[in-house]
Amino acid sequence: MTIALGKHNFATQIKCKIGRSTFSVAFYVRKTRMNKHGQAAIVVRVTVNGIRADLAAQKLVNPKLWDTAKGKAYERTPLTRELNMYLDSVRAKLIRIHRDMEEDDAQNVTAQAVIHRYLGKDKPERHTLMELFREHNERCRALSGIDMAPATVLRYETSLRHTEQFLLHIYRKQDIYLDELNRQFMMDYEFYLKSVRRCNHNSATKYLKNFKKIVRLALLDKEWLDKDPFSGIKFKFEQVERDFLEMHEVEKLRRKQIDIPRLEQVRDVFVFCCYTGLAFTDVKQLTQDHIATDIHGAKWIRKPRQKTGNVCHIPLLEVPLKILDKYKAAPYCQTHGVLLPVLCNQKMNAYLKELADICGIRKQISTHMSQHTFATCMLANGVSMESVAKMLGHSDTKMTRHYARILDSTVYREMQNVQGALRRSDR
Q: Please indicate, yes or no, if residue 342 is contained in any of the structural domains.
A: yes
Task: For residue 284, tell me if it sits in a domain.
Answer: yes
Give a yes or no: residue 210 inside a domain. Answer: yes
Domain residue limits at 75: 13-118
Question: Does pLDDT of 50 surpass 60?
Answer: yes
Q: Within a domain: residue 3?
A: no
CATH number for the domain harbouring residue 277: 1.10.443.10
Q: Report how far apart, in Å, the C-alpha atoms of 259 and of each of 355, 356, 422 are.
A: 12, 15, 53
Entry field: residues in the chain: 427
**pLDDT confidence of residue 224:** 86
403 and 286 part of one domain: yes
Q: Verify that 294 and 165 share a domain, yes or no.
A: no
How many domains is the chain partitioned into structurally? 3
Residue 242's SS3 state is coil
pLDDT at 380: 60
Which residues, other chains included, contact 103 with Cβ-Cβ below 8 Å and sequence gap of 6+?
A: none
271 and 399 part of one domain: yes
Neighbours of 178 (CB within 10 A): 21
State how far the Cα of 117 lies from the Cα of 212, in Å rounded to an integer: 29
The SS3 of residue 37 is coil
Residue 308 lies inside a defined structural domain of this protein: yes
Give the single-character DSSP code of 337. T
CA distances from 116 to 46, 97, 110 (A): 11, 10, 10
Q: Are residues 41 and 75 in the same domain?
A: yes
Cite the beta strand spans of 251-359 per DSSP E. Answer: 291-293, 299-304, 311-315
Give the full edge-to-edge strand order of the sheet including 311-315: 291-293, 299-304, 311-315
Residues 6+ apart with CB under 8 A from 136: 156, 213, 214, 217
- In the predicted model, what is the mean pLDDT of residues 48-73? 90
Final residue before a domain boundary, out of 118, 141, 167: 118
Domain presence at residue 406? yes
**How does pLDDT run across 203-220, given as a tens digit for each residue?**
999 999 999 999 989 888
Which of helix, strand or coil describes residue 274?
helix
Q: Is residue 426 part of a domain?
A: no
pLDDT of residue 109: 84
211 and 288 part of one domain: no
pLDDT tens column, 391-419: 777 666 666 665 555 544 555 455 666 66
Is the confidence at residue 10, as pLDDT, over 60? no
Kindly give, in sequence order, each residue whose CB lies less than 8 Å from that of residue 262, ignoring residues fewer than 6 positions away.
343, 351
CA–CA dist 233, 52 (Å, integer) = 22
* 381 vs 162, higher pLDDT: 162
Q: Which of 60, 57, 65, 64 is nearest to 27 (CA)?
A: 57
Confidence of residue 161 (pLDDT cuts 50, 70, 90): very high
Q: Render pLDDT for 234-273 as a digit per residue (tens, 0 to 9).
A: 888 777 667 788 888 989 999 999 999 999 999 999 999 9
Instruction: For residue 131, give the H/E element and its range.
Output: helix 129-143
Looking at the structure, tell me whether residues 298 and 202 fall in a common domain: no
294 plus 406 within the same structural domain: yes
Domain annotation covers residue 226: no
**Domain-ending residue, one of 221, 237, 259:** 221
Same domain, 169 and 257: no
Cβ neighbors of 112 (< 8 A, separation 6 or more) are 53, 226
Q: Convert the pLDDT of each residue in 382-398 to its tens digit.
A: 677 777 777 777 666 66
